[in-house]
Amino acid sequence: MSTTAVTPSKSPAGAPRKASPRTAAPTGSSRIGLRANLRHIGALARRNALQIKQDPESMFDAVFMPVIFILLFVYVFGGAIAGKGNQAEYVNYVAPGLMAMMGMNIAMGVGTGINDDFKKGVMDRFRTMPIARSSVLIAKIVVEVGRMMVATAILLGMAFLLGLTIHTSVFGLLAAIGLSLVFGASLMWIFILLGLTMKTAQAVQGMAMIVLMPLQFGSSIFAPPTTMPGWLQTFTDYNPLSNLADASRALINGGALAHSVWMTLGWSVLITVLAAPFAVSKFRKKT
C-alpha cells in the first residue's frame, strides 16, 4: 500500500506560509468582568504586600510615627490645653484626632510610591497586561489601608497606655476606626493623582505637605477651635479632618455625632467620585 507524505504548504515564492496574527487580549477595563477584576486586584495586592515583606523599612512610618506623634502631642500640648497633670484627659481628645492624621500621612506615601514605580518602569509593564487599569491603583489602596490599620492599632495601643478611656462601647471604637479608614482610602485617590501628575517623588512630597499642613493644623485635631480667629473657625468647620476628628471623638467619648459622621462620609464619597476617575484616566495616558 502506497503512502503519501504530507508536507507543509508553501507560498508561491516557496517560503512557509505565515501564521495568521492572533487577536490581542483586551486591555480596557470595560471588557473585563467583575470576577476577573477582583482576581487582578488580589494578585496585585499580594505583589505589593510581598514588596513590603522584602523591604520591612517601608513600614517604619506606620510603626513609629503613631508612637512619636502621640507622645509629643500629649506631653507637649497636653499640659497647656488640659492643665498640668491632666494629660490623661487630653489623650481622649487628641487620640481620635490623630487617627485622622495617620490616614493623611500614610495616604501621602501612595503618591510617592506610584511616582517611583513609574520611574522604575513597573507601571509600564502593568499597562501592557490584559488587566483593568483601575485594578493597579485599587490594589495599591488596599495594601495602604492595611498599613493604615497597623498604624491605627499602634496609635490606640499607645493611647490606652497613656490613659485613653472608651466612654461608649467597643462598637463605637470600631466604628471610629472604620470611619478613619474610609476617609483615608478616599484621600489616597488625591495623592495617587498627585503622584501621576508630578515629575518626581520629591515634588509629590512637597505638594503633599502644602496640602497637609493647613488641613492638619487648621482643624480640631490638636486643640478646640474656640480660641481661633473667626475666619479660621469658619475654615475649621468645613475642614473634613475636623469632621472626622469630631466624629471619632463622639464615637469614643460620647456626644452628638450624626452631623460629623454624615459630613465625613459625604466628603469621602465626594473626594472618591471626583479624584478616582481622573487618577485612572491619568494612569492610562501617562507616558
Contact 77, 69 (CB under 8 A): no
Contact between residue 91 and residue 163 where contact means Cβ atoms under 8 Å apart:
yes
Please tell me the distance from the alpha carbon of residue 152 to that of residue 14, in angstroms, as a whole number: 71
DSSP per position, 35-57: HHHHHHHHHHHHHHHHHHHH-GG
| Partners of 10 in the β-ladder | 16
Q: What is the dihedral of CA 282, 62, 54, 134, to 10 degrees?
A: -20
The Cα–Cα gap between 129 and 255 comes to 51
Q: What is the reported pLDDT for 86? A: 67
Its pTM stands at 0.81
Could you tell me where the DSSP H helices lie in the chain?
34-54, 60-76, 78-82, 87-120, 122-127, 133-162, 170-197, 201-217, 230-238, 240-253, 258-285
pLDDT by residue for the chain (287 residues), tens digit each? 444 444 444 444 444 444 444 434 444 444 677 777 788 888 888 888 888 888 888 788 888 999 999 998 888 877 777 666 667 788 999 999 898 888 888 888 888 888 887 777 777 677 777 777 788 888 889 999 999 999 999 999 999 999 899 999 999 999 999 999 999 999 999 999 998 888 888 888 888 888 888 888 888 888 888 888 888 888 998 899 999 999 999 999 988 888 899 999 999 999 999 999 998 888 888 75
Query: How far apart are the C-alpha atoms of 196 and 204, rounded to whole Å?
Result: 9
DSSP for residue 8: -
CB 17 within 8 A of CB 10: yes
Question: How many C-beta neighbours within 10 Å does residue 249 have?
Answer: 23
Q: Where along the chain do its domains lie?
A: 33-285
